Amino acid sequence: MSVLNYVAPDAKIGKNVRIWHFAYVGSRTVIGDNVKIGSLAHIDYGVTIGNDTMIEGCVYIPPMSRIGERVFIGPAAVLTNDPYPPSKRLQGVTVEDDAIIGARAVIRAGLKIGKGSVVAMGSVVTKDVPEGVVVMGVPARVAYTRREYDLKRSEWERGL
């Protein structure tokens, strides 16, 4: 951790956590082991982040959110905490294990991103995302399965 970051004194940080420059970690936040938090990320208060999760730069994670294990959150993604701003009632977002959230995606307050699901880059999620699907668009809709996504990614990596 660098002195250029702010990590609340009561935040609990696991082993092998890497926090890049100018990041903020709020009070009562719990971060698991082997987590990477990119530059300019803002992890607000009362957030829980599971092991082996990667949060890229410029991400905002609101208070009371729950991020599972092995989650990837792409650059400049925004999880929101107020469905009717500015209200006096806030809700976090739940992202279950093995989910992927693409760059610049926006997730509405109080929603759940299901286990192993993918939110495509630039999507605006206005409803819960079921387990094991890929959603995309504005508003985000189911496009295909996680299995199809993994096949497409494998073909891309092999240059096919």
User: Which structural domains are found in the chain, ordered by start?
Assistant: 6-157 (2.160.10.10)
Q: Which residues pair with 125 in a beta bridge?
A: 107
CA distance 21 to 57: 9
Q: Which residues pair with 104 in a beta bridge?
A: none
Predicted confidence (pLDDT) at residue 99 exceeds the cutoff of 90: yes
Predicted confidence (pLDDT) at residue 3 exceeds the cutoff of 70: no
Would you put residue 132 in left (φ > 0), alpha (ψ -120 to 50) or beta?
left
Q: How confident is the model at residue 160 (pLDDT cuts 50, 70, 90)?
A: confident
Global pTM value: 0.94
120-130 pLDDT tens trace: 999 999 999 99
11-33 pLDDT tens trace: 999 999 999 999 999 999 999 99
- 152 CA to centre of own chain: 22
- First-to-last CA distance in the chain? 40
